[in-house]
């Protein structure tokens, strides 16, 4: 009666939980996309899938993990959806239910669940969906990232984020958003929106997890976002920009550990020791970029990746050629004249042709870049290089005041202090 | 919209204010932040506050007055200062709160200012 030995049931429960977690991680987006493709109702599909995972955790420990966990989860979720509709007597949903039941009959023959994730990505980044919520919507639907974590990544209140997601899902359900991969005519602009949203997600994970003291809890979304990028590449093989984006993210990821020293202090790219970069990630990035370049259709992400590739050359003993860097930034601004690209170009021109040239480019941005932290950091460095100490000090303080990263703040204030001495 | 940014600090941060080794970094970070706020033109009002041990807390119950030395409650983080800012919405207010040194070391709370009662 009081036998404290771990029971067989506990072992099975552990195994079942691990299996459910594996299935969730590997196939959440796939299962959700499949359900949404047939019902358009993201919220109902999420609820049904959550219920399916709950039932799995309850029954798998007793009956063992099914042979095909994904198919099992899908069946459970579909039954749940069908039940809800019958319960609510929603006539409009009848067609969706029928489609689901028809699919279920074919399940025996269905060797693999069709992958509708690409359709879901395009739907999430549809022009009808507000630009600011596209990335959160992707993270939640395709990756299953919970709303609180998405909100934190974007530095908004969880309640506000939840509200925005609810509104976006209503648009997916009601609005005439096509649930398919756009045809050739439409593909380029729509793909740009998908890739931009993925890159935005990568950006939110940028400073997460770089501080070893913060531990696993702070680990960012970068891994998951790179997974998304790889998924787009896998499903849209011929698109060089998708490869360009993956190459860009891999190059940045390769330097994650090098961005902080052992004491947790910020280390700028030019001061990083290439020995601290991940050689395997750089290699993979270069391979992707080469494949992209073979297509002969350059674009924003390929140029951004090429810029990072040039920096990565240091790992192979090649110094960064400032004129080449300036030329690549010129190309980037041509494809994508964002404020970030223009600040980058100013810095590159400053390195290549002297700080006065860089400052002239920054001056032209002053109004648009007012509260943009990288603008002030770039301005401070260029002013310092131009020997304008007092203005540089003010710009360093402004850059420090606009960052939310304590390590970057300390770095900028130290630079300012060095000016004075 | 007006929001109050409420900055909390730990005992360690309050200590840094007068520690010769740490005060320059402490005040440097705050002055940079306050400078950026002013530069953005969003500040309605704001102040730093003396440390919690200088506080007095007053209660009047059934005619009896109680005055206690120290803050309202003992806690790891205590009020260190505040700003009221005028920004378009909560997102912008949270972005400003995140830039404060308090957000990195303790916490920064964002509260919408109650509009004056309508008559």
3-state secondary structure A159-181: HHHHHHHHHHHHHHHHCCCCCCC
SS3 A388: coil
DSSP element (H, E) containing B70: none
pLDDT score of A87 more than 80:
no
The pLDDT-based confidence of A94 (bands split at 50, 70, 90) is low
Q: What pLDDT score was predicted for residue A211?
A: 42
In chain A, % helix, strand, coil (3-state, to 5) comes to: 75, 0, 25
Q: Which of A49-63, B21-35, B42-56 has the lowest mean pLDDT?
A: A49-63
> Bigger pLDDT: A91 or A231?
A231
* Helix, strand, coil in percent for chain B, rounding step 5: 35, 35, 30
Q: Which value, in Å, is the radius of gyration of the alpha carbons in chain B? A: 16
Calculate mean pLDDT across residues A87-111. 56
pLDDT-derived band of residue A90, with 50, 70 and 90 as boundaries?
low
Could you tell me which residues of chain A have a Cβ less than 8 Å from any Cβ in chain B?
155-157, 160, 370-371, 397-398, 400-406, 409-410, 412-413, 416-417
Find which of A400, A408, A416 to mutate to test the B interface (most B CBs within 10 Å of its CB): A400
Residue A409 pLDDT exceeds 90: yes
Fold of A333-421: 1.25.40
In the predicted model, what is the mean pLDDT of residues A147-172?
90
3-state SS, residue B13: helix
Q: Which of A404, A411, A413, A417 to mutate to test the interface with B (most CBs of B within 10 A)?
A: A404
B-chain residues near A410 (CB < 8 A): 25, 29
- Name the residue with tokens 């007053």: B58
Which of B31, B90, B104 is the closest to A160 by Cβ?
B90
Residue with tokens 């506000």: A160
State the Cα–Cα distance between residues A351 and A358, nearest whole angstrom.
8
Using one digit for the tens of pLDDT, what is the confidence trace for A299-309? 999 999 999 99
Q: What integer pLDDT is reported at residue A209 of this predicted model?
A: 42
Cβ neighbours of B33 in A, within 8 Å: 400-401
Report, as an integer, the average pLDDT of B21-34.
96
Residue B65 maps to which CATH number? Answer: 3.30.70.1060
Q: How many CB atoms sit inside 10 A of residue A137's CB?
A: 26
Nearest-CA residue of chain B relative to A398?
B36
- Domain membership of residue B117 (yes or no) is no
Interchain pair A406, B104: CB under 8 A:
yes
3-state SS track over A337-366: CCHHHHHHHHHHHHHHHCHHHHHHHHHCCC
What pTM did the predictor assign?
0.85
Going across the sheet that includes B77-86, the strands are: B43-48, B77-86, B2-10, B107-112
| pLDDT at position A142 over 90 | no
Residue ranges of E strands in chain B: 2-10, 43-48, 56-61, 64-69, 77-86, 107-112
Q: Residue A208's pLDDT is what?
A: 46
Size of interface A-B (CB pairs under 8 A): 60
Which residue, among A154, A289, A298, A152, has the nearest Cα to A229 in the 3D structure?
A289
Measuring CA to CA, which residue among A289, A186, A189 is closest to residue A233? A289
Q: What angle (nearest 5°) sits at the alpha carbon of residue A332, between those of residues A328 and A333?
A: 120
Reference A81, options A54, A46, A113; nearest CA is A46
| A400/B28 Cβ within 8 A | yes
- The answer as to whether B44 is a domain residue is yes
Question: Which among A160, A401, A405 is the nearest to B36, CB-wise?
Answer: A401
Residues of chain A with C-beta less than 8 angstroms from the C-beta of B99: 401-404
User: Mind listing the pLDDT tens digit for each residue in A338-375?
Assistant: 999 999 999 999 999 999 999 999 999 988 888 899 99
Which tokens go with B19? Answer: 């520690």
Q: Do A156 and B31 touch (CB under 8 A)?
A: no
CA B56 to chain A, closest CA, distance in angstroms equals 32
Q: Which residues contact B14 (CB under 8 A, 6 or more apart)?
A: B51, B52, B78, B80
Q: Is the pLDDT of residue B42 over 50?
A: yes
A144: left (phi over 0), alpha (psi -120 to 50) or beta: left
Q: Which residues on chain B are in Cβ contact (under 8 Å) with A162?
A: none
Q: Which long-range contacts (CB under 8 A, 24 or more apart) does A168-172 make?
A: A168/A124, A168/A129, A168/A130, A168/A133, A168/A137, A169/A42, A169/A43, A169/A137, A171/A128, A171/A129, A172/A36, A172/A40, A172/A42, A172/A123, A172/A124, A172/A129
Question: pLDDT at residue B89 above 80?
Answer: yes
Radius of gyration from C-alpha coordinates of chain A? 25
Burial class (CB in 10 A: 0-12, 13-18, 19+), A202: buried
Where does the pLDDT of residue A10 fall: very low under 50, low under 70, confident under 90, or very high at 90 and above? low
- Report the residue from A402, A406, A417 with minimal CB separation from B36: A402
**Contact between chains at B25 and A413 (C-beta distance less than 8 A):** yes
Q: Which residue has the higher pLDDT, A7 or A331?
A: A331
Q: For the beta carbon of residue B91, count every other beta carbon within 10 angstroms.
A: 15
Q: What range does the domain containing B56 cover?
A: 2-112
pLDDT tens, A32-42? 999 998 888 99
Question: What ipTM goes with this model?
Answer: 0.89
Domain ranges of chain A: 8-108, 333-421
Strand segments (E) across B11-112: 43-48, 56-61, 64-69, 77-86, 107-112
Q: Do A401 and B32 touch (CB under 8 A)?
A: yes
List the single residue in B36, B90, B94 with the smallest CB-CB distance to A398: B36
Answer yes or no: is B9 within a domain.
yes
Q: How many domains does chain B have?
A: 1
Model confidence at A212: pLDDT above 50 = no
């Amino acid at each position: 009666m009081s036998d404290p030995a771990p029971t067989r049931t506990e072992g099975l429960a552990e195994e079942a939980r691990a299996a459910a977690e594996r299935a969730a991680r590997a196939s959440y987006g796939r299962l959700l996309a499949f359900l949404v493709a047939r019902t358009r109702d993201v919220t109902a599909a999420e609820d049904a899938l959550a219920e399916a995972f709950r039932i799995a955790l309850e029954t798998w420990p007793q009956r063992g993990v099914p042979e095909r966990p994904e198919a099992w989860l899908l069946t459970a979720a579909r039954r749940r959806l069908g039940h809800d509709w019958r319960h609510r007597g929603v006539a409009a949903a009848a067609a969706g239910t029928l489609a689901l039941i028809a699919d279920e009959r074919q399940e025996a023959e269905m060797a693999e669940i069709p992958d509708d994730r690409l359709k879901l990505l395009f739907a999430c980044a549809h022009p009808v969906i507000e630009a600011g919520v596209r990335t959160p919507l992707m993270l939640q639907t395709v990756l299953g990232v919970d709303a609180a974590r998405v909100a934190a990544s974007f530095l908004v209140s969880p309640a506000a984020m939840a509200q925005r997601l609810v509104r976006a899902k209503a648009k997916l359900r009601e609005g005439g958003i096509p649930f398919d991969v756009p045809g050739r005519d439409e593909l380029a602009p729509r793909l740009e929106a998908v890739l931009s949203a993925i890159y935005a997600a990568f950006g939110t994970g940028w400073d997460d997890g770089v501080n070893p003291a913060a531990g696993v809890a702070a680990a960012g979304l970068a891994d998951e976002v790179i997974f998304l990028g790889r998924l787009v590449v896998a499903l849209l093989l011929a698109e060089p920009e998708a490869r360009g984006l993956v190459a860009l993210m891999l190059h940045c990821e390769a330097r994650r550990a090098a961005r902080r020293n052992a004491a947790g202090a910020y280390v700028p790219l030019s001061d990083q020791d290439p020995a601290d970069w991940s050689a395997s990630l750089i290699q993979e990035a270069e391979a992707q970029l080469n494949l992209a370049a073979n297509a002969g259709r350059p674009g924003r992400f390929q140029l951004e990746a090429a810029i990072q590739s040039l920096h990565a050359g240091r790992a192979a003993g090649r110094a960064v050629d400032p004129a080449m860097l300036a030329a690549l930034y010129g190309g980037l601004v041509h494809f994508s004249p964002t404020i970030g690209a223009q600040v980058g170009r100013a810095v590159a021109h400053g390195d290549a042709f002297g700080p006065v040239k860089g400052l002239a480019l920054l001056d032209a941005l002053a109004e648009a870049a007012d509260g943009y932290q990288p603008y002030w950091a770039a301005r401070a460095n260029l002013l310092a290089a131009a020997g304008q100490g007092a203005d540089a000090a003010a710009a360093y303080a402004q850059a420090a005041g606009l960052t939310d990263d304590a390590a970057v703040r300390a770095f900028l204030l130290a630079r300012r202090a060095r000016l004075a001495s | 919209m007006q929001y109050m940014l409420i900055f909390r600090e730990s005992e360690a941060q309050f200590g840094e204010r007068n520690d010769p080794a740490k005060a320059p970094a402490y005040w440097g970070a705050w002055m940079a932040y306050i400078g950026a706020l002013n530069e953005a033109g969003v500040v309605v009002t704001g102040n730093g506050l003396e440390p919690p041990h200088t506080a007095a807390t007053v209660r009047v119950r059934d005619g009896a007055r109680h005055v206690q030395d120290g803050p309202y409650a003992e806690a790891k983080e205590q009020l260190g200062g505040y700003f009221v800012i005028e920004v378009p919405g909560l997102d912008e207010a949270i972005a400003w709160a995140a830039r404060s040194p308090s957000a990195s070391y303790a916490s920064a709370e964002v509260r919408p200012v109650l509009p004056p009662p309508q008559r």
